Amino acid sequence: MAYDYILVERRGRAGLITLNRPNALNALSAGLVAELNAALDEFEADDKIGAIVITGSEKAFAAGADITEMKELDFVTAYRDDFISEWDKVGQRRKPLVAAVAGYALGGGCELAMMCDFIIAAETAKFGQPEISLGVIPGSGGTQRLTRFVGKAKAMDMCLTGRLMEADEAERAGLVSRVVPVGDVLEEAVKAAQKIASFSLPAVMMAKESVNRAYETTMAEGIRFERRIFQALFATEDQKEGMLAFTEKRSPQFNNR
Ligand code: CAA
């Protein structure tokens, strides 16, 4: 499929989606988000892909929702069309998503990065929810995911003042998993995705599902959920292969069944 606003590649078992609207700092227009979802659909359906990287450019991962597209929007239209609900589909993907962020990740750009399973940031990354300066608030998880990830104090600070958070603070606060030099960020994310994709896909998907459950339930329910999933994995061929390979002192050959 041909895309106008993104570039799509395969790097072994890792899928790579590069947001590509350089003239608008990768602002997330309806067209771009539709293409992003179409590319994610393609990778989710592809047995040869085990994990996906989403990245932008060195200057901007994404500078937010497209302000020119939104500025004339009225409430009734936004409500009737359930404006930006399409974005949620990114966060509902079952294969792991890794965000490789350099430069600006603002507004919807920060929210998109947070919909991924973890963020690898360049030293140049700048995260922010500046919607307040446009007369609105974050609309795609900024007040919710950010608060769960960095806590109330920093989330309030960012959403109320619109200030940007640089990569080192984002790492200290728990928003990003690693910070690397800007020239390495994409390779580091692709390597992480390839590593994930080398494991048993059912185990990987269940690990993702189980960690995400921690945000949606009590500790006791979460532990029960985790234990059931752990038990279920003993029904897979990959569990047999993984443990046999360990005892035979060789690398496992997972076949994702
Ligand atoms: N929407 C549309 N166009 C955007 C954009 C956006 N979010 N962000 C940048 N652009 C465009 C600019 O209009 C400019 O276009 P022209 O060259 O045609 O004038 C081009 O990208 C380059 O931007 P700047 O000249 O502004 O670049 P800069 O280096 O001076 O500043 C910036 C960079 C600080 C990121 C600045 O562009 C900026 O503040 N952007 C807006 C950030 C923002 O407010 N994001 C939140 C959007 S609302 C939202 O996301 C809602 C939600 O929760 C879903």
Looking at the predicted structure, is the pLDDT value of residue 257 above 80? no
Query: How far, in Å, CA of 121 to CA of 22, rounded?
Result: 19
Query: How far, in Å, CA of 214 to CA of 231, rounded?
Result: 18
Per residue in 72-111, pLDDT tens?
Answer: 999 999 999 999 999 999 999 999 999 999 999 999 999 9
Percent of the chain's residues with pLDDT above 70: 100
Domain range 6-197, CATH architecture: Alpha-Beta Complex (3.90)
Determine if ligand 1 sits within 6 Å of the CB of residue 50: no
The pLDDT of residue 122: 98
Fold of 200-248: Lyase 2-enoyl-coa Hydratase; Chain  A, domain 2 (1.10.12)
Dist. CA 108 → ligand 1 center (Å) = 11
ipTM over 0.90? The verdict is yes
CA-based diameter of the chain, in Å?
A: 65
Dist. CA 122 → ligand 1 center (Å) = 20
Per residue in 172-209, pLDDT tens?
Answer: 999 999 999 999 999 999 999 999 999 999 999 999 99
The identity of residue 247, as a single letter, is: T
Confidence of residue 112 (pLDDT cuts 50, 70, 90): very high
Ligand 1 pocket, mutate which of 19, 20, 25, 61 (most atoms under 8 A from CB): 25
The pLDDT of residue 105: 99
CA distances from 48 to 40, 91, 136, 198, 249 (A): 13, 21, 41, 11, 26
Alpha carbon nearest to ligand 1 atom 8, residue: 63
Q: What residues does each domain of the chain span?
A: 6-197, 200-248
DSSP state of 37: H
Q: What is the pTM of this model?
A: 0.97
Contact (CB, 8 A) for 105 and 125: yes
Catalytic residue annotation:
65, 108, 111, 131
Percent of the chain's residues with pLDDT above 90: 98
Confidence of residue 1 (pLDDT cuts 50, 70, 90): confident
Average pLDDT over residues 45-52: 97
Per residue in 138-155, pLDDT tens?
Answer: 999 999 999 999 999 999
The pLDDT of residue 239: 98
Dist. CA 63 → ligand 1 center (Å) = 5
Of ligand 1's atoms, which has the minimum distance to the CA of residue 133?
44
Confidence of residue 256 (pLDDT cuts 50, 70, 90): confident
Of ligand 1's atoms, which has the minimum distance to the CA of residue 24?
21
Looking at the DSSP bridge assignments, the partners of residue 53 are: 16, 98
Dist. CA 14 → ligand 1 center (Å) = 30
Average pLDDT over residues 29-56: 98
Backbone angles phi, psi at 243, to 5 degrees: -80, -35
Average pLDDT over residues 11-18: 98
